[in-house]
Amino acid sequence: MTVLIAGGGIAGLSLALTCHQIGVPCKVIEAAREVKPLGVGINLQPNAVRELMELGLGPQLGQIGICTKAFALYSKMGRLIWEEPRGEAAGYNWPQYSLHRGKLQMLLFETALERLGERAILTGANVVGYANEPCRVTAKIEHRDGQIEELSGSVLIGADGVHSNVRAQMYPDEGDALWSGNILWRATTRAKPFGNGATMAMAGHATHKFVTYPISEIDPVTGLADINWIAELSRDKAEGFRREDYSREAALEEFLPEFEGWQFDWLNVPKIIRGAERVYEYPMVDRDPLPTWRDGRVSLMGDAAHVMYPTGSNGASQAIIDARKLGRVFKDRGLNEKALYAYEDEMRPLTERTILANRGQGPGYIMEIVEQKCGGNFEKIEDVLSQEEMAAFASKYKATAGFPVDNLNASPPIIPICT
């Protein structure tokens, strides 16, 4: 019997490749007619990079992403608050990659086509519901031409993102995602990278923030790289928000005036913003943790299970870890409800903690404290916060999100024997 996967995003395709690796048949059902390289920059933490390497994608990752070496926090005045090494520079056995989401999506999609064959991926097919039966589950699929098809499998995994239909059937009263009150404007700009060309930086505080990191190598001729950036501002909650859509374009005047003064010696924020060809608007949303991800032979993964604020750069990483944990339980227990229980028992508490930690600003919490204490203006950061306090917070967040360095390096791979 088969694993039915609703959604061919980062989560669904990672699961399909994992199923193929352990010899379990699967079928991906993807709503988009054509899979395209959409999105802007994302980060893959070392725990997720390790798993993609276990899937044999290490060399390709090295070609589409750059190894992030450091993570730095600045105040809104551009003053350095905290800097720490990342990836291999921090002692992990695997790198952290910053890369374009679309390139990762296409890498997973093309590899899945090559390894599983075209018949394993159905496109233009929207999963609109499911029905549990004693020994199988049936997914109801609506094709672009309006035709309805039913496909049966041993289990159905909802990997259908923030607007998951599978989750909506499990929780019909849940409603829309929850808006934090902040809007994110996201884009890439071809520009000279700051610092060592491999640092992720955040400047500002909870209601006025700029995040940036390069997602390509520096061109040796021009000295330029693709620089990913996110400008974040809080807005009046009473005004509501436009439903989250990763492809909604925005105009610069909606947010640029509030960053005009952010011209630091290490980064000229308004110049970077003006250099973007296209800017996308996205309301910062998440959903409350669920009491269970399971309904009979159906479970959830990725954003469908645990969409979180993107403050900790781990949405895509968590989706990949979900895929590997599902593969592990399928391998150990078979395609059944017990396997889905075991997966959820391990992953739901971890992601619940991360959703809540990200509501508390995630790693950017330190910036918020600095803003509250001195408005971001200081001579020496030690007069505001000690290095020990900041280090303790940074390692606490990594532990919450499931990638503390010693644990990860010492732990065996999630799926030990590659077949």
Ligand X SMILES: Cc1cc2nc3c(=O)[nH]c(=O)nc-3n(C[C@H](O)[C@H](O)[C@H](O)COP(=O)(O)OP(=O)(O)OC[C@H]3O[C@@H](n4cnc5c(N)ncnc54)[C@H](O)[C@@H]3O)c2cc1C
Tell me which amino acid residue 395 is. Answer: S
Q: Which of residues 147 and 222 has its CB atom nearest to ligand X in the complex?
A: 147
The Cα 223–Cα 193 span in angstroms is: 8
To the nearest whole angstrom, how small is the minimum distance from the Cβ of residue 165 to ligand X? 4
To the nearest whole angstrom, how small is the minimum distance from the Cβ of residue 193 to ligand X? 19
Q: Are 45 and 314 in contact (CB under 8 A)?
A: yes
Q: Does 69 bind ligand X (CB under 6 A)?
A: no
Q: Does 246 bind ligand X (CB under 6 A)?
A: yes
Q: Does 159 bind ligand X (CB under 6 A)?
A: yes
Picking from 232, 238, 236, the residue whose alpha carbon sits closest to that of residue 250 is 232
- Stated as kind and residue range, the H or E segment containing 279 is none
To the nearest whole angstrom, how small is the minimum distance from the Cβ of residue 11 to ligand X? 3
Tell me which amino acid residue 416 is. Answer: P
Q: Which residues lie closer than 8 Å to 25 by C-beta, 6 or more apart?
A: 1, 2, 3, 19
Q: Does 186 bind ligand X (CB under 6 A)?
A: yes
Q: Does 362 bind ligand X (CB under 6 A)?
A: no
Q: Which residues lie closer than 8 Å to 230 by C-beta, 6 or more apart?
A: 184, 185, 186, 209, 210, 211, 212, 310
Of the listed pieces 212-220, 270-278, 302-310, 384-392, which binds ligand X according to CB under 6 A?
Answer: 302-310
Q: Are 312 and 401 in contact (CB under 8 A)?
A: yes
Size of the site for ligand X (CB under 6 A): 32
To the nearest whole angstrom, how small is the minimum distance from the Cβ of residue 417 to ligand X? 26
Tokens of 337: 């409800």
To the nearest whole angstrom, how small is the minimum distance from the Cβ of residue 347 to ligand X? 13
Of the listed pieces 3-11, 55-63, 266-274, 379-387, which binds ligand X according to CB under 6 A?
Answer: 3-11
Angle between helices 46-54 and 315-333 (to 10 degrees): 50
Q: Does 6 bind ligand X (CB under 6 A)?
A: yes
Q: Does 319 bind ligand X (CB under 6 A)?
A: yes
DSSP symbol at 397: H
To the nearest whole angstrom, how small is the minimum distance from the Cβ of residue 308 to ligand X? 8
Q: Does 303 bind ligand X (CB under 6 A)?
A: yes
Q: Does 177 bind ligand X (CB under 6 A)?
A: no
Q: Which residues lie closer than 8 Å to 362 by C-beta, 6 or more apart?
A: 309, 311, 312, 397
Q: Does 8 bind ligand X (CB under 6 A)?
A: yes
- Stated as kind and residue range, the H or E segment containing 349 is helix 337-359
Q: Does 7 bind ligand X (CB under 6 A)?
A: yes
Q: Does 127 bind ligand X (CB under 6 A)?
A: yes
The distance between the two most distant Cα atoms of the chain, rounded to a whole number of Å, is 67
Q: Which of 126, 132, 268, 336 binds ligand X (CB under 6 A)?
A: 126
Tell me which amino acid residue 248 is. Answer: R
Tokens of 372: 């509250």
Of the listed pieces 28-36, 74-82, 194-202, 411-419, which binds ligand X according to CB under 6 A?
Answer: 28-36
Of the listed pieces 159-167, 193-201, 270-278, 375-383, which binds ligand X according to CB under 6 A?
Answer: 159-167
Of the listed pieces 38-46, 112-120, 195-203, 399-407, which binds ligand X according to CB under 6 A?
Answer: 38-46
Q: Does 29 bind ligand X (CB under 6 A)?
A: yes
380 three-class SS? coil
Helix ranges restricted to H, 39-125: 46-54, 58-64, 101-116
Burial class (CB in 10 A: 0-12, 13-18, 19+), 286: buried
Q: Does 161 bind ligand X (CB under 6 A)?
A: yes
Q: Does 315 bind ligand X (CB under 6 A)?
A: yes
To the nearest whole angstrom, how small is the minimum distance from the Cβ of residue 121 to ligand X? 11
> Which residues within the stretch 97-116 sit at the binding site for ligand X (CB under 6 A)?
101
Q: Which of 316, 323, 339, 384 binds ligand X (CB under 6 A)?
A: 316
Q: Which of residues 242 and 373 has its CB atom nearest to ligand X in the complex?
A: 242
To the nearest whole angstrom, how small is the minimum distance from the Cβ of residue 409 to ligand X? 24
Q: Which of residues 24 and 29 has its CB atom nearest to ligand X in the complex?
A: 29
Q: Which of residues 9 and 78 has its CB atom nearest to ligand X in the complex?
A: 9
Q: What is the DSSP string of 299-332?
A: EE-HHHHH---GGGS-HHHHHHHHHHHHHHHHHH
Q: Which of 3, 4, 12, 231 binds ligand X (CB under 6 A)?
A: 12
The Cα 41–Cα 188 span in angstroms is: 8
Residues that bind ligand X (CB under 6 A): 6-12, 29-32, 38-40, 42, 101, 126-127, 159-161, 163, 165, 186, 246, 302-304, 310, 315-316, 319
